């Protein structure tokens, strides 16, 4: 999902930019930077995730402008570091796509909102729901936070992107349904599988890398 140049109106770019800045400021202010500087493992996860996502997002498919398909991976990163660091890591990855020419700089805020912030916030919200339900089986974390969370996050991001393109008059609602929305459930399956598989692997071999995982709750 990548907004190309001349897709959004000037007013939309301003509105998305303001929302983007509000979420970004909240993320930066809420991070414990002193703890981040002390935790080398977290630093490795952060910079590693940014680089990996930056190169994974180079691989995409799509015919119509703005209606691209690619693996997000934001659910995994969110479960590893929380939504605030996940947002910053995702934006660093987006910078890589801008440098390589895959995304236009003028649409950075719009792409950051759809590709990074919305999936991270949705994934984190589902994780909080799972935590509030107080499930005692670790499969609940894997399924709800990993598989289910990733699928829902990409679905919400896709709907937000379609609403932006529809409100800009780029596509009619029927065109969006025909070219994208009716295929959205198919996009959710690989996204859920990829994120869920990596979450499962980390939970088994490196559970300490999942900062949102309360290991004592599942014992």
Q: What is the pTM of this model?
A: 0.92
The pLDDT of residue 135 is 87
The pLDDT of residue 5 is 63
Round the CA-based radius of gyration of the chain to a whole number and report it: 17
Q: Which two tokens stand for residue 113?
A: 């909102």
Is the CB of residue 192 less than 8 Å from the CB of residue 151? yes
Residues 101 and 97: their CA atoms lie apart, in Å, by 6
Residues 113 and 20: their CA atoms lie apart, in Å, by 6
Is the CB of residue 8 less than 8 Å from the CB of residue 16? yes
Domains of the chain: 10-218 (1.10.1760.20)
Q: Across the chain, which distance is largest between two alpha carbons, in Å?
A: 53
Is the CB of residue 69 less than 8 Å from the CB of residue 61? yes
Residues 183 and 190: their CA atoms lie apart, in Å, by 12
The pLDDT of residue 65 is 67
The pLDDT of residue 2 is 63
- Which residues pair with residue 61 across a beta bridge? 69
The pLDDT of residue 43 is 95
Q: What is the pLDDT along the chain (219 residues), one digit of tens a residue?
A: 566 667 777 888 899 999 999 999 999 999 999 999 999 999 999 999 999 999 999 887 766 666 777 889 999 999 999 999 999 999 999 999 999 988 888 889 999 999 999 999 999 999 999 999 988 888 899 999 999 999 999 999 999 998 988 988 888 889 888 888 888 888 899 999 999 999 999 998 998 899 999 877 776
């Amino acid at each position: 999902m990548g907004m190309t140049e001349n897709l959004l109106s000037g007013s939309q770019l301003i509105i998305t930019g303001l929302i983007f800045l509000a979420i970004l400021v909240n993320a930066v202010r809420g991070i414990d930077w002193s703890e981040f500087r002390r935790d080398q493992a977290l630093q490795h996860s952060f910079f590693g995730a940014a680089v990996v996502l930056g190169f994974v997002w180079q691989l995409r498919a799509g015919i119509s402008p703005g209606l691209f398909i690619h693996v997000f991976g934001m659910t995994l990163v969110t479960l590893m570091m929380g939504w605030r660091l996940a947002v910053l890591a995702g934006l660093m990855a987006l910078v890589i796509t801008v440098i390589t020419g895959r995304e236009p700089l003028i649409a950075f805020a719009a792409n950051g909102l759809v590709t990074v912030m919305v999936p991270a916030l949705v994934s984190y919200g589902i994780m909080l729901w799972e935590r509030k339900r107080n499930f005692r089986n670790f499969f609940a974390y894997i399924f709800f936070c990993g598989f289910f969370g990733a699928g829902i996050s990409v679905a919400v991001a896709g709907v937000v992107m379609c609403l932006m393109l529809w409100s800009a008059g780029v596509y009619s609602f029927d065109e969006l349904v025909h070219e994208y929305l009716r295929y959205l459930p198919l996009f959710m399956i690989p996204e859920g599988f990829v994120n869920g598989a990596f979450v499962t692997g980390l939970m088994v071999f490196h559970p300490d890398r999942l900062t949102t995982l309360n290991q004592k709750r599942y014992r």
